Amino acid sequence: MAQIGIIGAGSWGTALAVLLAGNGHAVRLWSAIESEIMLLKEKREHSSKLPGVKLPESIQATTDLQLAMADAELLVLAVPSVFVRETARSMKAYYQPRQIVVNVAKGIEEDSLMTMVDIIEEELGGGTVCVLSGPSHAEEVGKKLPTTIVVGAKTRQIAEHVQSLFMNGVFRVYTSPDILGIELGGSLKNVIALAAGMADGLGFGDNTKAALITRGIHEIGRLALAMGAKAETLNGLTGIGDLIVTCASVHSRNRKAGMLIGQGKTPDQAMDEVQMVVEGVYSAKAAVKLGEKYQVSLPIIERVNKILFEELPVKEAIFELMQREKKTEYENLEWET
Ligand SMILES: NC(=O)c1ccc[n+]([C@@H]2O[C@H](COP(=O)([O-])OP(=O)(O)OC[C@H]3O[C@@H](n4cnc5c(N)ncnc54)[C@H](O)[C@@H]3O)[C@@H](O)[C@H]2O)c1
Q: Would the pLDDT of 9 be above 90? A: yes
pLDDT at 49: 94
User: Ligand 1 mean position to 151 CA, how many Å?
Assistant: 18
Is 81's C-beta closer than 6 angstroms to any atom of ligand 1?
yes
Q: What is the pLDDT of residues 26-51, one digit of tens each?
A: 999 999 999 999 999 999 999 999 99
* Short-list 138, 120, 131, 113, CA closest to 84: 120
Is 79's C-beta closer than 6 angstroms to any atom of ligand 1?
yes
- To the nearest 5 percent, what fractions of the chain are helix, strand and coil? 55, 15, 35
Q: In the chain, what is the straight-line distance between the N-terminal and C-terminal CA atoms, in Å? A: 63
pLDDT at 192: 97
Q: What is the pLDDT of residues 309-336, one digit of tens each?
A: 999 999 999 999 999 999 999 988 999 9
Q: What is the mean pLDDT of the chain?
A: 96
Residue 254: φ, ψ to 5°: -70, -45
User: Ligand 1 mean position to 10 CA, how many Å?
Assistant: 5
User: Ligand 1 mean position to 135 CA, how many Å?
Assistant: 16
* Best residue for ligand 1 mutational test, from 12, 189, 190 (most atoms within 8 Å of Cβ): 12
Is 276's C-beta closer than 6 angstroms to any atom of ligand 1?
yes
Give 30's contacts (C-beta < 8 A, 6+ positions apart).
5, 6, 7, 8, 9, 37, 61, 62, 63, 64, 65, 68, 69
Q: Would the pLDDT of 277 be above 90? A: no
The answer to whether residue 327 is catalytic is no
Sign of CA dihedral 295, 217, 150, 74: positive
Q: What is the pLDDT of residues 140-194, one digit of tens each?
A: 999 999 999 999 999 999 999 999 999 999 999 999 999 999 999 999 999 999 9
Any alpha helices (H) in 267-312, and if so which ranges? 267-274, 279-294, 299-309
Percent of the chain with pLDDT over 70: 100
Q: Read off the pLDDT of each residue in 95-110 and give the average, rounded to a whole number.
A: 97
Neighbours of 321 (CB within 10 A): 16
pLDDT at 262: 96
Residue ID of nearest Cα to ligand 1 atom 21: 10
User: Ligand 1 mean position to 49 CA, how many Å?
Assistant: 10
pLDDT at 133: 98
Helices (H) and strands (E) in the chain, counts: 16, 8
**Cβ–Cβ < 8 Å for 167, 2:** no
Q: Would the pLDDT of 284 be above 90? A: yes
Give 318's contacts (C-beta < 8 A, 6+ positions apart).
199, 202, 204
pLDDT at 61: 98
Task: Spot the catalytic one: 49, 189, 209, 256.
Answer: 189
Minimum-distance ligand 1 atom for the alpha carbon of 107 = 41
pLDDT at 276: 81
From CA 19, how far away is CA 299, in angstroms rounded?
39
Q: What is the per-residue DSSP string for 219-230?
A: HHHHHHHHHT--
User: Ligand 1 mean position to 6 CA, how many Å?
Assistant: 11
pLDDT at 337: 86
pLDDT at 60: 98
